[in-house]
């Protein structure tokens, strides 16, 4: 990490919060710049091209949601959203607009840095092998449409395979019901989370050792799912 410190942009209108996050992340070996509103956040993003963006949602003028949207038009950089309220609709909107994960305030630095590491890992390319690629405990062969978990081959239906491939491509990220449904089933199905629940249940039975306490395919209450292949 010290050879090539990753660059993180922190955007929050609360000066004390950006100050503490900056010091905390610098101590953890990251390079940090801060901005106090969406507009200057976007300017810094353009000028500095960070590896990850952390942004608050409610800011004066041009808020975190707009910032997510603008950044997504420019780049696939991981975006982590900080939210002060337990406001599920706002989180879902942020995630639908392109945020990758969220951390509710107040948070411990250990949790924040763990989420940052997970997001930065995701942006690293998967390991290519002769018969497809490997990510964590999973091996996937797109041509043969085969998946194996820790060496055990799993038989998936075509739709389950599509869902699996989408989850692997977006590992570590919080995915809203709507995002998954539109990507795998098309935008007409975006409002049918119960449909997705059936497929997730089936996939868990095949992938997880204990489908009731899933290790890989986790539920984010009221929001959607997160797939962690390790």
Partner 1 sequence: MYRMPSLPRRLHYLAALVALAALVAVAHALRNQLNQTAIALAFVLLVILVAVRAGRGPAIFAAIVAGLSFNFFFIGPLYSLRIHRSEDLVAFVVFVVAAVLVGHLSSRLELRVMETEELQRSEQLKTALLDAVTHDLRTPLTSIKAAITTLRSGSVAEPVQRELEEVIDQEADRLNHFIQGMMDLARLEAGELSLQSRSVTADEIMEDALSRAEGLLLNHPVESSVDPGLPRLSADPRLISQVLFTVIENAAKYSPAGTPIFVSASRNGAGSVCFSIADEGPGIAPEMRDEVFRKFVRAGERPGFGVGLAIARGIVEAHRGKIWIESGNGGRGTRVQFSIPAGDAA
19 versus 159: smaller Cβ distance to partner 1: 19
CB of 108 to partner 1, least distance (A): 4
CB of 32 to partner 1, least distance (A): 12
DSSP string, 28-62: TT-EEEEESSHHHHHHHHHHH--SEEEEES--SSS
14 versus 162: smaller Cβ distance to partner 1: 14
CB of 76 to partner 1, least distance (A): 27
d(CA 160, CA 168): 12
Q: Are 176 and 146 in contact (CB under 8 A)?
A: no
82 versus 168: smaller Cβ distance to partner 1: 82
Alpha-carbon torsion (49, 76, 225, 37), positive or negative: positive
d(CA 214, CA 204): 7
HSE of 32 in the Cβ direction (CA atoms, 13 Å)? 21
Contact residues toward partner 1 (CB under 8 A) are 13-17, 19-21, 23-24, 26-28, 36-37, 40, 58, 60-61, 84-85, 105-110, 112
58 versus 123: smaller Cβ distance to partner 1: 58
CB of 21 to partner 1, least distance (A): 6
């Amino acid at each position: 990490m010290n050879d090539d410190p990753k660059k993180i942009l922190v955007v929050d209108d609360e000066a004390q919060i950006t100050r503490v996050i900056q010091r905390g992340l610098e101590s953890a070996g990251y390079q940090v710049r801060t901005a106090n509103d969406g507009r200057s956040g976007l300017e810094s993003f353009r000028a500095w091209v960070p590896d990850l963006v952390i942004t608050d949602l409610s800011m004066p003028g041009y808020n975190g949601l707009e910032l997510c949207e603008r950044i997504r038009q420019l780049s696939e950089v991981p975006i982590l959203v900080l939210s002060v309220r337990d406001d599920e609709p706002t989180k879902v909107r942020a995630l639908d607009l392109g945020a990758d994960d969220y951390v509710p305030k107040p948070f411990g630095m250990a949790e924040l840095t763990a989420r940052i590491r997970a997001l930065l890992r995701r942006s690293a390319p998967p390991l290519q092998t002769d018969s497809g690629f490997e990510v964590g405990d999973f091996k996937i062969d797109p041509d043969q449409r085969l998946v194996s978990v820790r060496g055990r081959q799993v038989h998936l239906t075509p739709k389950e395979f599509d869902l699996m491939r989408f989850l692997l491509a977006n590992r570590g990220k919080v995915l809203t019901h709507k995002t998954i449904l539109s990507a795998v089933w098309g935008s007409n199905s975006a409002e049918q989370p119960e449909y997705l629940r059936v497929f997730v249940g089936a996939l868990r039975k095949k992938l997880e050792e204990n489908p009731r306490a899933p290790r890989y395919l986790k539920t984010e209450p009221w929001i959607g799912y997160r797939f962690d292949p390790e």
